[in-house]
């Protein structure tokens, strides 16, 4: 599986010569990353056809390779694109409709990358209400007779200042799979233990997916031992400036060697 986001990511990460890019996503009235427009959604939630044309290329190429696309809808710092919550809700509906019309069977939905109180400007993209959009996407897909799995990823899940236990339960009990982020063995193990200990999970276990993980081999093996996925997070591939395309020896080769080892003979 690979991640693809309708609102991009950190296109200026590492550019210290751009003062407006420094700081947190919530800094300023419209978010420091809004100095760039990096969104496939317009203010009213309609779709940018050129952006979604490129999206289709990636989804279809992945399908040919037998790969799944984890389609993230919103990215922090870009949510000020929307004038109000109606635009966000419309964006969800329009994306589901677009997927259903094309009949893609290799796409899952991640509502927003790293939901937490400090990342997003609109309340519906924060921990207390993220479940509303998960439920909306699932209901829209059902109305379209389209099978689509939905979740969202978290940030700072273990911080009670960011996530209450009620918010964790509402968000992930509504999800078809649980998306987690982490960077140390103790952290990822604590998150797995937390989720698997909740009553709703015991009644209806769902896949646990770390789609953004640091920590190298120790975390890789810890998650595989727990029967949980490991998702490679690499500065080289995701946020390096200037971008460098192609294949070359870099910090991530250990990951591909490890995957080759665990899938040998399968």
pTM of the model: 0.93
Which tens digits make up the pLDDT trace of 136-189?
Answer: 999 999 999 999 999 999 999 999 999 999 999 999 999 999 999 999 999 999
Please say if the pLDDT value at position 117 is more than 70.
yes
Q: What domains are defined for the chain? A: 1-159 (3.20.20), 177-266 (no CATH)
**Half-sphere exposure for 38 (CA within 13 Å, toward CB):** 19
**pLDDT value of residue 38:** 84
Mean pLDDT score of the chain, rounded to an integer?
Answer: 91
**pLDDT value of residue 17:** 76
Q: How far apart are CA 79 and CA 83, in angstroms?
A: 9
Please say if the pLDDT value at position 104 is more than 90.
yes
Which tens digits make up the pLDDT trace of 197-217?
Answer: 999 999 999 999 999 999 999
User: What percent of the chain is predicted at pLDDT more than 90?
Assistant: 75
The residue-averaged pLDDT of 238-253 equals 74
Q: How far apart are CA 259 and CA 243, in angstroms?
A: 25
Q: What length is written for the chain?
A: 266
3-state per-residue secondary structure call for 178-238? EEEEECCHHHHHHHHHHHHCCHHHHHCCCCEEEEEECCHHHHHHHHHHCCCEEEECCHHHH
Please say if the pLDDT value at position 24 is more than 70.
no
Q: How far apart are CA 261 and CA 206, in angstroms?
A: 26
Work out the pLDDT band at 126, boundaries 50, 70, 90: very high
Q: Which two tokens stand for residue 225?
A: 């031992």
Which tens digits make up the pLDDT trace of 37-51?
Answer: 789 999 999 999 999
Please say if the pLDDT value at position 29 is more than 90.
no
Q: How far apart are CA 35 and CA 32, in angstroms?
A: 6
Work out the pLDDT band at 34, boundaries 50, 70, 90: low
């Amino acid at each position: 599986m690979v991640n693809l986001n309708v609102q991009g990511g950190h296109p200026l990460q590492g550019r210290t010569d751009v003062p407006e890019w420094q700081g947190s996503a919530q800094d300023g009235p419209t978010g420091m990353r809004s100095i760039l427009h990096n969104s496939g959604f317009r203010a009213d939630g309609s779709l940018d056809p050129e952006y979604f044309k490129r999206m289709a290329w990636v989804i279809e190429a992945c399908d040919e390779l037998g790969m799944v696309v984890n389609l993230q809808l919103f990215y922090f710092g870009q949510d000020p694109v929307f004038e109000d919550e109606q635009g966000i809700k419309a964006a969800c509906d329009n994306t589901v409709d677009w997927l259903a019309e094309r009949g893609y069977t290799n796409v899952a939905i991640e509502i927003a990358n790293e939901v937490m109180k400090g990342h997003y400007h609109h309340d519906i993209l924060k921990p207390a209400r993220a479940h509303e959009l998960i439920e909306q996407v699932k209901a829209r897909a059902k109305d379209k007779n389209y099978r689509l799995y939905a979740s969202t990823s978290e940030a700072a899940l273990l911080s009670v200042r960011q996530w209450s236990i009620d918010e964790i339960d509402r968000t992930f009990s509504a999800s078809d799979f649980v998306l987690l982020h982490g960077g140390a063995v103790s952290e990822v193990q604590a998150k797995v233990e937390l989720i698997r200990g909740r009553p709703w999970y015991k009644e209806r276990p769902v896949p646990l997916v770390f789609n953004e993980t640091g920590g190298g081999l120790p975390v890789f093996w810890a998650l595989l031992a727990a029967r949980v996925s490991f998702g490679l997070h690499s500065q080289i591939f995701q946020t390096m400036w200037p971008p460098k395309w192609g294949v070359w020896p870099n910090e991530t080769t250990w990951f591909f060697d490890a995957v080759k080892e665990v899938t040998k003979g399968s």
